[in-house]
């Protein structure tokens, strides 16, 4: 049987998911899940790098799983799990942290931004966040990592760590490629189109949630900031607000940007907003309805997570054992001889 290339990606349960998560991540996960062996996780350990309410975090973790499914992730094809259910993530992160320089972590844009936002607690976890992300990816020997544009720098660090380790100890990790979509890799805030749409933005009008009902969609698109100008013409530099709405229209209708420009020739921003509102309502309706159906099916969600964690652990454990062996840790007496030896190449995993 030929093996499909492997994908690993994740989303933090640190808030309600937005249309940005859909375009930057989930939409591409769904598109790639047949041609790849996919591992999709809820990155709960990443979420605790900023303060979370415990009950809310638990709730959001399940909600995030329900949204993965509502967006079209098929649990019979893809492995769906929660990061903290697979302890190998933190175990590998420790090893990798011994191979990462302080300088590398301090150069990460996300760290600089988040430490400015959370000045009262710039914790070590926030600093080491990209190392845990590298561990997430390398544990599964992933070939491809579908993410939004803001994660590119973290992917570069992951590749550097894999190459550094392989160079020192011999082939151990596959060096993953990022998959950043050509359109929609960075959906901007509806209130400030120079900023990324973020689920943690305190201004709800800036965010389009995947679960927003029609009246919220109407209100948010009506209030969305556009630029001065009249023609509907795509120009990210000069007209970031309008261009962002055009990308959303592309996502909701499947029409290309030139097709959209033709559709609104001679029309104005208000016409685009009206068409976009209707398109988004219809586009998000099935996702919201499926989410509402799944939201309280806790037993079903837990059973998917149980199966997912088991499959994920099998693969993660093999890589971790290989790493432990490579670096010279004594094989634990309970580990079977069938775990990889130092001669095992990562491609065999
Ligand atoms: P926060 O917004 O809470 O600071 P985040 O949403 O960026 O965090 P995650 O929830 O872990 O962080 O993001 C998961 C995935 O969704 C990543 O691949 C990220 O690039 C993508 N993503 C998030 N927001 C957007 C956006 N506005 N446009 C495109 N992709 C996005
Ligand atoms: N840091 C990512 C979320 C994340 C992730 C991963 C993405 C955690 N682990 C592994 C891809 C692969 C973010 O988007 N904030």
Both 288 and 305 in a single domain? no
Q: Whose CA is nearest to atom 9 of ligand 2?
A: 133
pTM: predicted TM-score of the whole model, two decimal places: 0.94
Residue 201 Cα distances to 192, 195, 196, 204, 284, angstroms: 11, 10, 10, 7, 21
**Cβ count near 136 (within 10 Å):** 27
**Contact (Cβ atoms closer than 8 angstroms) between residue 49 and residue 129:** yes
Residues 236 and 303 in one domain: no
- Contact indicator for 144, 123 with CB cutoff of 8 Å: no
Residues 6+ apart with CB under 8 A from 213: 288
> Are 306 and 235 part of one and the same domain?
no
Domain, as residue range, for 152 = 6-184+296-344
Neighbours of 293 (CB within 10 A): 12
Question: How far, in Å, is the centroid of ligand 1 from the Cα of 342?
Answer: 37
Residue with CA nearest ligand 2 atom 5:
10
Q: Are 105 and 66 in contact (CB under 8 A)?
A: no
Q: Which residues are designated catalytic?
A: 114, 196, 199
Same domain, 171 and 112: yes
Question: In which residue ranges of the chain is pLDDT below 50?
Answer: 339, 341-343, 347
Mutate to test the pocket of ligand 1, among 14, 21, 151, 176 (most ligand atoms within 8 A of CB): 21
Distance CA 133, CA 159 (A): 11
Tell me, yes or no, whether 165 and 139 share the same domain. Answer: yes
- Kindly state the helix (H) or strand (E) to which residue 300 belongs, with its residue range: helix 298-327
Per-residue confidence (pLDDT) for residue 1, from 0 to 100: 52
Domain assignment present for residue 193? The answer is no
Residue 341 has what pLDDT? 45
The DSSP call for residue 196 is B
Residues 133 and 156 in one domain: yes
Whether residue 179 sits in one domain with residue 41: yes
* Same domain membership, residue 338 and residue 285: no
Angstrom distance (rounded) from CA 83 to CA 137: 11
What's the structural domain count of the chain? 2
What dihedral do alpha carbons 75, 77, 81, 83 form, nearest 10°?
A: -150
Same domain for 150 and 44, yes or no, is yes
Which residue out of 9, 11, 42 has the highest number of ligand 1 atoms within 8 Å of its CB and is therefore the one to mutate?
A: 11
- Same domain assignment for residues 18 and 145: yes
Give me the pLDDT at residue 342, please: 43
Sheet holding 144-146, edge to edge: 79-82, 37-42, 6-11, 144-146, 177-179
- DSSP secondary structure letters along 25-67: IIHHHHHHTTTSEEEEEE-HHHHTTS---HHHHHHHHHHHHHH
Pocket of ligand 2 (CB under 6 A): 8-10, 12, 43, 46, 133, 136-137, 145, 147, 151, 154
Ligand 1 pocket test: pick from 116, 150, 206 the residue with the most ligand atoms within 8 Å of its Cβ: 150
Nearest ligand to the CA atom of 190: 1
Q: From residue 212, give the alpha-carbon distance in Å to each of 22, 62, 189, 204, 289.
A: 13, 18, 15, 11, 11
88: domain CATH number?
A: 3.40.50.620
Residues 253 and 232 reside in one and the same domain: yes
8 in helix, strand or coil? strand
238 domain residue, yes or no: yes
Is the minimum distance from the CB of 200 to ligand 1 under 6 angstroms?
Answer: yes
Per-residue pLDDT tens for 192-227? Answer: 999 999 988 899 999 999 999 999 999 999 999 998
**Tokens 């709800």 identify what position?**
204
Q: Are residues 265 and 278 in the same domain?
A: yes
State which of 254, 273, 294 marks the end of a domain.
294
pLDDT at 117: 85
Q: What is the pLDDT of residue 120?
A: 85
- Please tell me the number of the ligand nearest to residue 149's CA: 1
């Amino acid at each position: 049987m030929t093996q499909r290339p492997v994908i690993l990606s994740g989303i933090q349960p640190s808030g309600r998911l937005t249309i940005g998560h859909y375009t930057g991540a989930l939409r591409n996960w769904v598109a790639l899940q047949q041609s790849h062996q996919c591992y999709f996780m809820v990155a709960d350990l990443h979420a605790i790098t900023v303060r979370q309410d415990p009950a809310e975090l638990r709730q959001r973790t399940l909600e995030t799983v329900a949204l993965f499914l509502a967006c079209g992730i098929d649990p019979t094809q893809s492995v769906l799990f929660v990061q903290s259910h697979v302890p190998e993530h933190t175990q590998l992160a420790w090893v990798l942290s011994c191979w990462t320089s302080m300088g590398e972590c301090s150069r990460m844009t996300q760290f600089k931004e988040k430490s400015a936002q959370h000045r009262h607690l710039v914790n070590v976890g926030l600093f080491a966040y990209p190392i845990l992300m590298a561990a997430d990816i390398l544990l599964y020997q992933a070939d491809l990592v579908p993410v939004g544009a803001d994660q590119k720098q973290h992917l570069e660090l992951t590749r550097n760590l894999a190459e550094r380790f392989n160079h020192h100890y011999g082939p151990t990790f596959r060096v993953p490629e990022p998959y950043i979509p050509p359109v929609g890799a960075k959906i901007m805030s509806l209130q400030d189109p120079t900023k990324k749409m973020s689920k943690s933005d305190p201004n709800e009008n800036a965010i389009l949630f995947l679960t927003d009902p029609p009246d919220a969609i109407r209100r948010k698109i009506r209030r969305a900031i556009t630029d001065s100008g009249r023609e509907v013409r795509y120009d990210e530099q000069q007209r970031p607000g309008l261009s962002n709405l055009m990308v959303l229209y592309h996502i909701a209708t499947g029409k290309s940007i030139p097709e959209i420009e033709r559709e609104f020739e001679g029309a104005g921003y208000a016409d685009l907003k009206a068409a976009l509102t209707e398109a988004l309502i219809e586009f998000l309706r099935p996702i919201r309805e499926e989410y509402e159906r799944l939201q309280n099916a806790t037993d079903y969600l837990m059973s998917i997570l149980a199966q997912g964690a088991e499959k994920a652990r099998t693969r993660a454990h093999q890589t971790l054992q290989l790493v432990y062996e490579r670096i010279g840790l004594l094989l634990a007496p309970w580990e079977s001889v069938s775990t990889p030896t130092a001669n095992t190449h990562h491609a065999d995993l």
